[in-house]
Amino acid sequence: MKLIKYPSKEQWSELLKRPALNTENLFDTVRTIINKVRTEGDKAVLEYEATFDKAVLSTLSVTSQEIKEAEGKISNELKAAISLAKQNIETFHASQRFVGKKIETMNGVTCWQKAVGIEKVGLYIPGGTAPLFSTVLMLAVPAKIAGCKEIVLCTPPDKNGNIHPAILFAAQLAGVSKIFKAGGVQAIAAMAYGTESIPKVYKIFGPGNQYVTAAKQLVSLRDVAIDMPAGPSEVEVLADASANPVFVAADLLSQAEHGVDSQAMLITTSEKLQAEVVLEVERQLARLPRKEIAEKSLENSKLILVRDLEEALELTNAYAPEHLIIETENYLEVAERITNAGSVFLGSLTPESAGDYASGTNHTLPTNGYAKAYSGVSLDSFIRKITFQEIVSDGIQAIGPAIEEMAANEHLDAHKNAVTVRLDSLK
């Protein structure tokens, strides 16, 4: 961890840099894999599974028997926790349903929107060092509410060709249509272009390593939509002297254990808190099973002491964190002044873990400063809004002359004529 005290504004740009994620230098390798999957289908995916995931598979599909058996392989306590999280995620995302209103913009001219679920969506769930069954809920639950007809899930198997049972249980509970044993670039390519087993989808969601990120970027150039640009996960804690250093340290470490390229930041107005957090991080770190990962991640971490809350807010909005935890005395007032963040956690009893798992909000969020322009995944991510308009005789007579005038001045005479012939028919 780097301790920084009272940095000047000239230093901010350097201070707020994320761990570099240069996907461009991976494009050649990734493009080769994508092209092979595109031309050879299942055969290429099976070969890459053997190469990268060390799993020798005879088929990519997860069977109904495997899904049924998964339920018996996890504890009742975990099943209850997943069910509770699913219920809260469902409740929050269902409240986001779009209600279109018919608007008469002028007499005889009516316009409206209708929300329609994206028919086919692909969910990528990483395997790696942790089975992210929580991400299954975060993506599949809103997809189901949105009315997506086909929800395809790809996730890498272990060396024995098995998917973690909690992932299968969560997928079945959330309403996933089809599950496949495929990871990495080959999974993204399969969902983007389709294979004999894996359907082509219209939009791909989900986090992944730098190869997955590069693959999503490449296939999104012209072939399929993706949820958002992605990078390593990050958290910022904004705290004053009232914050509990034990809680702050725990929040920083919960982010640090995600991966070696994660970033945890503290911006505080209290020098005493800054010093206490350093000691507390060291104490808690020693007890973590994923200590080595967190330790490496903390090399990217910065504990920044600023002069006052004004400066803390300005620095925070410049950073635009994926996760922002506000542990200040008047946290609701402070929160009102946040303009750039993916998801905000308010008060000393609201850890990032709540949003990661079970409070109901979505944990698929913009990273790497993209919170300045992007929202996290929501129900809107899984729908399209189609506009409609209806013009009756009063309407075309009222609006027609303006359309004719505008079309004529843009030298688009056929556009003008499409109105003129209608107006003439009403004379």
Strand-pair partners of 326: 238, 346
Contact 65, 165 (CB under 8 A): no
Give the distance, in angstroms, between the CA of residue 74 and the centroid of all CA atoms in the same chain: 27
Predicted TM-score of the model (pTM): 0.94
**Residue 21, pLDDT score:** 62
**Residue 229, pLDDT score:** 80
Residue 311 in tokens: 């400066």
Residue 298 in tokens: 């903390």
The one-letter code for the residue type at 150 is E
One DSSP character per residue, 91-120 reads HHHHTT------EEEETTEEEEEEEEE-SE
**Residue stretches of the annotated binding site:** 124, 186, 209, 233, 255, 258, 323, 356, 410, 415
**Residue 22, pLDDT score:** 67
**Residue 20, pLDDT score:** 66
Q: What share of the chain is helix, strand, coil (3-state, %, to 5)?
A: 45, 15, 35
Of these residues, 236, 257, 280, 323, which one is catalytic? 323
Q: pLDDT by residue (tens digit) across 208-233?
A: 888 999 999 999 999 999 999 877 88
Of these residues, 236, 280, 322, 352, which one is catalytic? 322
SS3 125: coil
**Residue 25, pLDDT score:** 82
Q: What are phi and psi of 224, to 5 degrees?
A: -160, 150
126: Cα within 13 Å, side-chain hemisphere: 15
Residue 52 in tokens: 């990268």
Q: How far apart are CA 421 and CA 409, in angstroms?
A: 18
C-alpha distances in Å from residue 89, one per residue of 85, 208, 326, 354, 377: 6, 22, 22, 11, 12
**Residue 231, pLDDT score:** 79
**Residue stretches of the annotated binding site for substrate:** 233, 255, 258, 323, 356, 410, 415
**Residue stretches of the annotated binding site for NAD(+):** 124, 186, 209
24 given a catalytic annotation: no
Burial 341-365 (b: 16+ CB within 10 A, else e): bbbbbeebebbbbebbbbbbbbbbb
Q: Rounded to 5 degrees, what angle do the CA atoms 227, 233, 239 make?
A: 125
The parts of the chain modelled with pLDDT lower than 70 are: 20-23, 128-129
Determine if residue 278 is left, alpha or beta; phi over 0 gives left, psi from -120 to 50 gives alpha, anything else beta. alpha
SS3 121: strand
Tokens 């595109």 correspond to 38
**Residue 28, pLDDT score:** 92
Q: How far apart are CA 55 and CA 162, in angstroms?
A: 9
The domains located in the chain, with CATH, are 2-17+231-360 (3.40.50.1980), 23-226 (3.40.50.1980), 392-425 (no CATH)
Residue 389 in tokens: 């308009």
**Residue stretches of the annotated binding site for Zn(2+):** 255, 258, 356, 415
322 given a catalytic annotation: yes
**Nearest C-alpha neighbor of 327 from the set 216, 224, 228, 252:** 252
Strand-pair partners of 302: 2, 265
Q: In what order do the strands lie in the sheet with 178-181?
A: 178-181, 150-155, 120-124, 203-205, 225-226
Long-range contacts of 226-231 (CB under 8 A, 24+ apart): 227/203, 227/364, 227/377, 227/381, 228/364, 228/366, 228/370, 228/374, 228/376, 228/377, 229/366, 229/367, 229/368, 229/370, 229/374, 230/367, 230/368, 231/18, 231/21, 231/367, 231/368, 231/370
**Residue 129, pLDDT score:** 63
